[in-house]
């Protein structure tokens, strides 16, 4: 879409619901020769609830340049007390990936990136193990091995944070990165870290959830993609998916099926974040 419509932009808004928001925003865009091509909105409660809106629009030949348009929107946003973000659709976000040994989520993202399905730049990939170094570098992406031990965890996190900031990343994907991030790390990238985990949590916690699921004879397995917060695996959920299984599945077959669900759910969440389709409020999300 961004290549076909180089003048397309996206506007995300969240605020207390009140009359006139849609009219005011639409009028502003019309007055600046912008053409709305898609508009979605949602209210948690029309009587004083939260209002969310996502608009895609094309800049016209008489429109001011994008930076000036964005600057001029500040006045309306202040007047109506809007939390907002405006982005050019053509600007590729810079996505970093953190991974450990398992590669199924990593490879799904890399394949979608190389095929052009995922419109991002990937300036670096960081891992606490060297396992995936060769495959990452075969894609022409810099790979940084930052080992983590109990004694060096704080220093390793600081090294990773420094690398991420040096490469000016917009957001981070934990593609089965098997480390718990500290508050310092999470606070450095608020609502900009996406994680994937199996949906057996908290019922099947620990190192081998699929074995425990097999023992209980589960009929559904799934995965959850969410933003990372200080509350472990309890951040705002972006996407979930499930797959029906039965008594014929072995532990290994459950593990394979689970990996398939994980990589698909994570890829969807990353795509939606990349396309500015996700608005966070409290511990929930609105996904347009």
**Whole-structure pTM value:** 0.92
Active site (catalytic) residues: 233
Reading the block at residue 180, the tokens are: 């718990």
Mean pLDDT along residues 136-159: 97
28-84 pLDDT, tens digit each:
999 999 999 999 999 999 888 999 999 999 999 999 999 999 999 999 999 999 999
Buried b (16+ CB within 10 A) or exposed e, 61-84: eebeebeebbeebeeebeebebeb
Summarised one tens digit per residue, pLDDT across range 228-239 is: 998 878 899 999
**Between 2 and 70, the higher pLDDT residue:** 70
DSSP result, 104-124: HHHHHHHHHHHTTSS-EE---
Residue (of 268, 174, 188, 167) closest to 227 by Cα position: 174
Which tens digits make up the pLDDT trace of 258-273? 999 999 999 999 999 9
Alpha helices in the chain (DSSP H): 21-31, 66-80, 104-114, 133-138, 153-166, 183-188, 209-216, 251-274
Angle subtended by helix axes 209-216 and 251-274, to nearest 10 = 120
Can you say whether residue 282 is alpha, beta or left, with left for phi > 0 and alpha for psi between -120 and 50 degrees? left
Q: What is the pLDDT of residue 214?
A: 82
């Amino acid at each position: 879409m961004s290549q076909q419509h180089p003048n397309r932009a996206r506007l995300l808004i969240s605020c207390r619901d009140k009359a006139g928001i849609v009219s005011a925003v639409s009028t502003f865009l019309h007055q600046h020769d912008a053409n709305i091509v898609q508009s979605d909105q949602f209210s948690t409660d029309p009587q004083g609830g939260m209002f969310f809106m996502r608009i895609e629009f094309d800049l016209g030949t008489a429109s001011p340049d994008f930076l000036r348009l964005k600057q001029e929107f500040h006045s309306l946003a202040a007047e109506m007390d809007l939390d907002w973000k405006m982005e050019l659709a053509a600007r590729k976000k810079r996505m970093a990936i953190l991974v450990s040994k398992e590669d199924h989520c990593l490879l799904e993202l890399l394949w979608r990136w190389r095929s052009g399905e995922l419109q991002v730049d990937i300036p670096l990939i960081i891992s606490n193990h060297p396992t995936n170094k060769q495959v990452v570098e075969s894609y022409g992406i810099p790979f940084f091995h930052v080992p983590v031990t109990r004694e060096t965890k704080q220093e390793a996190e600081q090294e990773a944070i420094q690398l991420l900031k040096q490469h000016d990343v917009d957001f981070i994907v934990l593609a089965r990165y098997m480390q718990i991030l500290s508050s310092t790390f999470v606070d450095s990238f608020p609502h900009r870290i996406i994680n994937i985990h199996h949906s057996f949590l908290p019922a099947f916690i620990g190192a081998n959830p699929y074995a425990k699921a097999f023992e209980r004879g589960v009929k559904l397995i799934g995965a959850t993609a969410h933003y990372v917060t200080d509350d472990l695996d309890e951040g705002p959920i972006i996407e979930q998916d499930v797959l029906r299984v039965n008594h014929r599945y072995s532990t290994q077959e459950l593990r394979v099926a689970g990996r398939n669900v994980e990589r698909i759910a994570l890829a969807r969440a990353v795509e939606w974040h990349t396309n500015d389709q996700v608005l966070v409020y409290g511990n929930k999300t609105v996904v347009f």
